[in-house]
Amino acid sequence: MTPVSQVVAAHRALAVAGHGDLVWGHAAVRDPDGAGIWTKAAGWGFEEVTEYRVVLVSPDGDVLAGTGRRHIEYPIHTGILRARPDVGAVVHTHSHAATAFAALDVPLRALDHDGVLFSEPDVPRFRGTGGLIRTAALGADVAAALGDAPAVLLPRHGLVTVGASVGQAVMHAILLDRACRTQLTAMAAGELRSWSDAAECAAKRAACWNPTQIDAGWRYLLRAAGLPEETT
């Protein structure tokens, strides 16, 4: 996939998974030549993204290629990619389940397969602001809160996930949303009594979410979005 096709695939897959929020939220991939990030232009919903609605944004926020405006919160992506050379793609959505769960300020437990990616250790939270991440300093703060984790919750805002590939970053967003929804459902029914401990989390991460399994989920999302099955 080219960077442009990766951006299209990421947004269309997120739309299929129910992560859309009208025209807000965005995914970005690292420019292979170091020019910045490829991401969707502002003003479009996830399901509306095509190759003509993708822009290249410099670390300073200049649109270097493509047509349209950049998103205000581009520093989420540039800040994380600057801090994490292992990351190739970043996703930011306003997942309803993740936002609701973050408001509880309780640990995310591994109640199912999805949760093991974000438990033991607990998924980190960025507590600097619930507002827009619109400056390089705030982007760096989000990256610091993320650390070496696959995701960070932004209380009163949404989620951010990362991956070596765009498929991995998208899958992490979808799985985190599902893990938060499972725990919200369980907590609404009563006190939590059973979840995976650290050893079981580690074993299940290797068995359930190895690269082959992540890729299988990503390929399904591409098919569901009507896109060619390609990997990155």
Residues marked active site are found at 73
Among residues 104, 80, 203, 119, the alpha carbon closest in space to that of 156 is found at 104
CA distances from 113 to 18, 79, 89, 186, 222 (A): 19, 30, 23, 15, 22
Contacts of 137 (CB under 8 A, 6+ apart): none
β 158-163/54-57 pair status: unpaired
d(CA 53, CA 70): 10
Locate all alpha helices (DSSP H) within the chain, ordered by sequence.
3-16, 74-83, 96-102, 136-146, 166-189, 198-208, 211-224
